[in-house]
Structure 1
Amino acid sequence: MIAPLDRSRPEPLADQLAAAVIAWIEARGAETAAGAALPSIRRLAAETGVSRNTVVEAYDRLVAEGRILSRPGVGFRVAPPAAPLPPAAPDPGGVAAVADRVWRLYDDRPALLRLGGGRLPDDWHDTTDLARAIRRVTREGGRALIDYGTPLGEPRLRRLVAQRLARLSVPVAEDRVMLTTGASQALDVVIRALTRPGDAVLVEDPGYHNLFGLLRLQGVRMVAVPRRADGPDLQALDAAAAASGARLFVTNGVLHNPTGSTTTPQIAHGLLTVAARHDLTIVEDDIYADFEEGSPAVRLAALDGLDRVVMVGSFSKPLSSALRVGYVAAAPSRMRGLVDVKMLSSVASSRFAEQVMAVLIETGGLRRTAEALTRRLARQRAALLPALRRAGWRLFAEPRGGMFVWAAHEDAADARLLVDAAAARGIGLVSGAVFRPGLEEGAWLRINIAAAADPRARAFLKDPLG
């Protein structure tokens, strides 16, 4: 007999009923109860004094959780217990070590202030234009709501990406643009297409944590190239390329994550010279382009004409982390291999999301949103940087835009001290090790400029160990 419900309790009746059924199963033991018939919807509604809809809601939830089974013509029965999980597989590439650290960046506890996070706070987003674009695409209906897209992606948006890149002096036709589910998939596709397990790949140190995870998954060997305030260390790049035999270098030139620095024109030209000397392909990650202030910085793809440069970008940062739309631009000789990898690994990206993004660009929604956020970030950064210096923080570079500051405090040689102190105040930080290909600990960590506007962040940054 399933226990009666208590209507004086605040929990919804469907929640109480589901819990009562689970208690009935567990009281008999999962093995013993497996296969046992449960009361019909009508009978359980009568026994517990609730509506049939409440019983349906409770049973549907338990079916979804795997606790009970639904069989047409038979009714509901107790499901057999789940099989035990197999032992963890070996992790020779160290993927788990990276993933454990990255998980801390995505701690979604509502009360936690994500001072080290990689996205804008929720209250910085104005979703008016986004909601309008979604309604328009939904109203127009058609294949965007039900069908796969093409492996290359929505032609309408690819044309808009080509126009966007032309404004950065990157010459590209729409057939040299492939759309992806965000920049992370773009990087994943490029890595799979251009590397094989055991290859050496040159990466910036510090650099993008998710890139390092993708490279570990591919089984390649990462070779660190120090990142300076003006861009990659060219002498170190030259030596590393010669010593490792690497044929691929991944760089985030503009508004670099995590340092906020931007590669200077002089370093950009020198980088291409080194690449030519060692026959390097360069992957240029341009994910933060929408937050750039003033005249656009020089892009490697503009200098190179997308010959040895493959360009990766995204629209998600200013608009919504839930609207995952990115792209890859590359030479025709590379594009077929890239599209093949995308098609075989994911079939296609979301036609619906791509049409929503096209509407946002055509109606000016992306431009308005990015400009407003860039102005707000600039104001916050102008107030934050002097305050950090007064409080004993050392800055790696003077960002010319974007979301991040890479900083170290004079009283903490190990950033983990700061991470622990922040956690005690309900603030989320991660040590800079997650942004290093070898996971080395040190004094540096990433600060999200937007999150630093919160009064809790200001108090912590002023006296982090107090």
Structure 2
Amino acid sequence: MDLGIDRQALVPVVQQIISAVAQWIRMSGVSPGTRLPSVRQVALDNLLSQSSVIEAFERMVAQGLLVSKHGSGFSVAQPSTLYEGQWYEGAEREWGAFVDSPLGELKLGCGWLPDAWRESDDISYAIREVTRTDTAGLFNYSTPLGLPALREQVFKRLSRIHIAAHQDRILITAGASHAQDLLIRTLLKAGDCVVVETPGYGNLYRQLGFHGVQLLQVPRTPGGPDIPALEALLQQHRPKCLFVNSLYHNPTGSSLSRTVGERLLALAQRDNFLIIEEDVLGDLQHPSCTRLSALPHDDRVIYVASFSKTLSSALRVGYLSASAAIIAQLASLKTLTGFGTSRFAESVVATLLANGTYRKWVQRLRKRLNTQMTATLQVLEDEEWEVFAAPAGGMFLWARPRAGDPSRLQACARRLGVLLSSGALFSPTSEPSEWLRINVAYADDQRALALFRAMGPARSTSTILKTTGV
């Protein structure tokens, strides 16, 4: 059993053994009960210590991939059903989306950065600084609006992107989803109707549906919501709100054009509805980006952003900016339902913003993502995939093979160890779709490249697997 161990890699040898054996189980199609080569043989074949192999195998037993019997060595366990089916961000099934798959599949459609891209030293330094200088942050609640030091930094950030705000009109939340939930519960009631983009963020659809809100769908175009379709909806309905993702739209990666943005604001004024603008990837901005919140809007736009995508999902820090009246209602609900947000997490983020670390990190991240976006677009063009839009930045692409055969695509992805987030997950009605969300931060993995090639013109999956060595 050749495990292909790379001793120059940053990944520990034990983890490399686990990943290689898991891939062998997946690719070989071996039956449960199949015995693995002995620990001694695996160690000899790969120039490894027996202790490393034993540790790896024991971890796989704990993960349910292998079983161990005294005197019989290690064998393949019964397959788990935990990770069957499509993976996607926020999937409820067994909470599988929020844990690592023991088979080490590539989450090509996930909504966050790879761990290998994170820069933990900066966060560790900020944590140490907070524990040294802000002891109260370890024990006390934050204020209803959020930590003043963080709101000051957010105010400066909004000023730099030409969004007029005041610190008393900024509310800190536990991420963008928390902000959306507060807005839904404050502004809407069961039976109200709102306009949502399709495709769009599936978790928002579920939040609205949970509260009995009626969803009116408007197609997303490469320049933003389809204006003629929206105008047709407005002739028949009186929506309370429009939810829009202006920059680096999830899942298409497209961004709002100024012409569309100005028309949206005119319609909101004419038909008296609010616009909730989500901007969770806005810190990866391109100079040509258009934000509704940066245009004159007479308090008709509520701005929602987060540090979860760019900095850390674990810290769970987001924020929103709205009129003083709405902020007061939201702060009351936030206090009533959770006694505020984490002062400690807010202090860590405020420290990273104040010392310039976050700004430098985002600059590096933007450059890295842009490089990967260009490379992925080129690969998809070479393999004749259809791409919805060529994003100016961000991390998402919306694409499909031109020779679309969903069953073949799924079979190929399973064999290669790639987990997909299908287009149906980004539809308000879960309508099946051949479109896929692709996170470009994962698209340079050999398994992703093999999938793109396998679904290209006149290619067979078996040929791709042989030539790539996957």
Spell out, residue by residue over 1:304-333, the C-alpha distance to the aligned partner (whole angstroms, 9 max, x if none).
356110000001212111111000100112
Question: Conserved in 1, the CA contact under 8 Å of 2:199 and 2:251?
Answer: yes
Q: Which one of 119, 137, 140 corresponds to residue 133 of structure 2? A: 140
Spell out, residue by residue over 1:107-145, the C-alpha distance to the aligned partner (whole angstroms, 9 max, x if none).
521511110100011101111111100110011242100
Q: Which one of 401, 410, 434 corresponds to residue 402 of structure 2? A: 410
Q: Which one of 235, 238, 242 corresponds to residue 245 of structure 1? A: 238
**Corresponding residue for residue 301 of structure 1:** 293
User: Residue 231 of structure 2 aligns to a residue in which SS?
Assistant: helix
Q: Which one of 231, 239, 262 corresponds to residue 255 of structure 2? A: 262
1:109 aligns with 2:101: yes
More deviation in 400-409 or 335-344?
335-344
Spell out, residue by residue over 1:363-399, the C-alpha distance to the aligned partner (whole angstroms, 9 max, x if none).
1111111111111111111111011011121000010
In 1, Cα distance between equivalents of 2:240 and 2:408: 38
Q: Which runs of 5+ in 1 are unaligned?
A: 1-97
Question: Conserved in 2, the CA contact under 8 Å of 1:283 and 1:310?
Answer: yes
In 1, Cα distance between equivalents of 2:97 and 2:397: 16
In 2, Cα distance between equivalents of 1:365 and 1:254: 23
Within-5 A mapping of 1:33-182: 99-100=91-92, 105-106=97-98, 108-110=100-102, 111-182=104-175
Runs of 4+ in 1 over 6 A off after TM superposition: none
Spell out, residue by residue over 1:75-105, the C-alpha distance to the aligned partner (whole angstroms, 9 max, x if none).
xxxxxxxxxxxxxxxxxxxxxxx95479565
TM-score by length of 2: 0.75
Within-5 A mapping of 1:455-466: 455-464=446-455, 466=461
**Corresponding residue for residue 212 of structure 2:** 219
**Corresponding residue for residue 353 of structure 2:** 361
In 2, Cα distance between equivalents of 1:268 and 1:101: 37
Question: Cα distance, 1:221 vs. partner?
Answer: 0.9
Aligned residue identity for 1:446: R
- Indicate how the Cα distance of structure 1 residues 345 and 420 shifts in structure 2: closer, same or farther if over 3 A, else same: farther
Question: Conserved in 1, the CA contact under 8 Å of 2:122 and 2:357?
Answer: yes
Aligned residue identity for 1:405: L
Computing the radius of gyration from Cα coordinates, the structure with the larger value is 1
In 2, Cα distance between equivalents of 1:253 and 1:122: 27
Question: Cα distance, 1:241 vs. partner?
Answer: 2.5
- Indicate how the Cα distance of structure 1 residues 217 and 99 shifts in structure 2: closer, same or farther if over 3 A, else same: farther
- Indicate how the Cα distance of structure 1 residues 462 and 244 shifts in structure 2: closer, same or farther if over 3 A, else same: same
**Corresponding residue for residue 41 of structure 1:** none
Question: Cα distance, 1:245 vs. partner?
Answer: 1.7
In 1, Cα distance between equivalents of 2:245 and 2:123: 27
Q: Which one of 375, 379, 383 corresponds to residue 371 of structure 2? A: 379
**Percent identity for Structure 1 against Structure 2:** 42
In 2, Cα distance between equivalents of 1:162 and 1:141: 21
TM-score by length of 1: 0.76
How many residues get paired?
Answer: 367
User: Residue 243 of structure 2 aligns to a residue in which SS?
Assistant: strand
- Indicate how the Cα distance of structure 1 residues 235 and 118 shifts in structure 2: closer, same or farther if over 3 A, else same: same
Aligned residue identity for 1:270: R
Question: Cα distance, 1:431 vs. partner?
Answer: 0.9
Question: Cα distance, 1:242 vs. partner?
Answer: 2.8
Q: Which one of 398, 413, 423 corresponds to residue 422 of structure 1? A: 413
1:310 aligns with 2:302: yes
**Corresponding residue for residue 200 of structure 1:** 193
Aligned residue identity for 1:229: P
Q: Which runs of 5+ in 2 are unaligned?
A: 1-89, 462-470
User: Residue 316 of structure 1 aligns to a residue in which SS?
Assistant: coil
- Indicate how the Cα distance of structure 1 residues 223 and 103 shifts in structure 2: closer, same or farther if over 3 A, else same: farther
In 1, Cα distance between equivalents of 2:308 and 2:298: 23
In 2, Cα distance between equivalents of 1:313 and 1:189: 14
